Structure 1
Amino acid sequence: MTDDTTASQPDAMSGYDLARAALEEARALAKAQGKSVGMGRSAPIRTKRRTGDRSRRRWSGSGPDSRDPQPLGRMVGKVAQQHGWESRISEGTLFGMWPQIVGEDIATHADPTRLEGTVLHVRAESTAWATQLRYMQSQIIAKIAKVIGHGMVTSLRITGPQAPSWRKGPRHISGRGPRDTYG
């Protein structure tokens, strides 16, 4: 007899019974407001495709959906493309990954200095290395294209070490340069 009296009192209801009562209350409230409540179904998604006068509806399921979270790399790529940052990102990748792109041996003897348009300026540590890099120019461009993308670098301008300048000051007399004045 005690079970009947406690079951009829709302304070003594079990968690399951309280949840069911709350659900029925919410359904009744939604029905009164004119909203339909389906059991276990999500809201329909309207597609942009139209068939005749009626728009098609499909239900969201376990498959991929436009509302799903997107990978961070894809989102960053879209932002970079919208703002026109792709060339600067590729340039940073080229300068940052120079040793991996051309190899450690070449990277220890030559450094990229700047990228002007599609011309990459490379400074070699000696004239011998500059000459060797000029012979390997097509292979270096192919390696860059494989990592960065085709068309980013179309040619290399390879320079050797800079000779000291004998020109001192703003005024200069053109001529043969320093002469032998030692005797």
Structure 2
Amino acid sequence: MSPEEQEPQQQPEHAADGLDLARTLARATARSTPGRRTAVRRTTERAPRTGRVSGAHPDDRDPQTLDAALTRIVDDHGWQVDLKVASMFARWTELVGPEVGAHSRAESFADGKLVVRTDSTAWATQLKLLAPALVRRLNEDLGHGTVVVIEVLGPHAPSWKHGARSVRGSRGPRDTYG
């Protein structure tokens, strides 16, 4: 039997995908332009050029120091004030002095309002008197207008409404005082 007389082999039917699909597309492209090699087209687009070319001078594509990279990230996201405020919380004793720092701590900061908690009412009174000078000192370190007002709070008062010996509807220990 000659090869022409042989029956062509039947290939199993299946979905053209993966490597088979790539081969089919390559053959179809090769047939459409006879005698020429076809260039493979890129599926990803290039980033637009900024007009700068690579050269001997430094540019943004060069390796950067960690300090420069972090500074750029902070500037891009606008985190300067947040970082300064976080630094203020960490360096509270250094900024206000050791004596005031031993009896107070910064609790929160929002919209120019700094909340400071003291460990006694006497220190709360003292800090209220020192508030204008403290605002001036903090703004020197953080930047002008960062801290607008300081709210000074005394120590947390105990709650008389909870516990083993509380009575519902009572006013706490004041009931026993004449």
Q: TM range, normalised to the smaller chain?
A: 0.5 to 0.7
Amino acid at match of 1:173: G
- The equivalent of 1:138 in structure 2 is 132
- The equivalent of 1:8 in structure 2 is none
- The equivalent of 1:120 in structure 2 is 114
Distance 1:176 1:168, change over 3 A: closer
Structure 1 segment 73-88 matched on structure 2, within 5 A: 73-88=67-82
Identify, as 1 or 2, the structure richer in strand.
1
Distance 1:138 1:81, change over 3 A: same
- The equivalent of 2:175 in structure 1 is 179
| TM-score of the aligned structures, taking structure 2 as reference length | 0.57
Question: What is the CA–CA distance in structure 1 between the aligned matches of 2:81 and 2:169, rounded to whole Å?
Answer: 43
Residue 152 (structure 1) shift: 2.0
1:112-171 per-position Cα deviation (integer Å, ceiling 9, x unaligned): 1111221111111111111011011011111111111122221111111122111128x9
SS at match of 1:179: helix
Unaligned 5+ runs, structure 2: 1-49
Residue 172 (structure 1) shift: 5.7
Question: What is the CA–CA distance in structure 1 between the aligned matches of 2:133 and 2:68, rounded to whole Å?
Answer: 30
**Aligned Cα RMSD in Å?**
3.4
Question: What is the CA–CA distance in structure 2 between the aligned matches of 1:139 and 1:133, rounded to whole Å?
Answer: 10
Distance 1:160 1:89, change over 3 A: same
1:160 aligns with 2:149: no
Q: After TM superposition, what 4+ stretches of structure 1 lie above 4 angstroms from structure 2? A: 64-72, 174-177
| TM-score of the aligned structures, taking structure 1 as reference length | 0.55
8 Å CA contact retained: 1:166, 1:178: no
Identity of aligned residues (%): 30
Structure 1 segment 24-63 matched on structure 2, within 5 A: none
Unaligned 5+ runs, structure 1: 1-46, 49-59
Amino acid at match of 2:144: H
8 Å CA contact retained: 1:93, 1:148: no
Question: What is the CA–CA distance in structure 2 between the aligned matches of 1:116 and 1:174, rounded to whole Å?
Answer: 37
Amino acid at match of 2:121: T
Question: What is the CA–CA distance in structure 1 between the aligned matches of 2:95 and 2:119, rounded to whole Å?
Answer: 18
1:93-117 per-position Cα deviation (integer Å, ceiling 9, x unaligned): 0111111111111101111111122
Distance 1:158 1:174, change over 3 A: same
SS at match of 2:143: coil
